[in-house]
Amino acid sequence: AKELREKGFGVTIVNGEGLQGEVSITWCVTPRKRLKEVLKIVSNINPDAYITTEPTNPTKLTENRK
């Protein structure tokens, strides 16, 4: 998360338990035009990371959104 945050991405981490023990789920909502940048950062941190993408539809924009 540190590397993503340093690049200006918002990150939320949820700790949980998976089949083989503790896991961390990291959410990062980003504009589509910056997706490749996020994927590169994650790949450099953990080449075996399980990544999913999905479209989002914000229901409320805050003043800090660009």
Q: Kindly tell me the sign of the dihedral angle through the C-alpha atoms of 22, 51, 43, 8.
A: negative
CA 38 to chain CA centroid, Å, is: 7
pLDDT reported for residue 55: 87
Q: What is the pTM (predicted TM-score) of this model?
A: 0.75
Give Rg (Cα) of the chain.
Answer: 13
Compute the distance between CA of residue 66 and CA of residue 63 in angstroms, rounded to an integer. Answer: 8
Structure confidence by residue, pLDDT tens digits, 19-58: 999 999 999 989 899 999 999 999 999 999 999 999 887 7
Higher pLDDT, 12 or 66: 12
Could you give the residue ranges of the DSSP H alpha helices within the chain? Answer: 2-6, 35-45
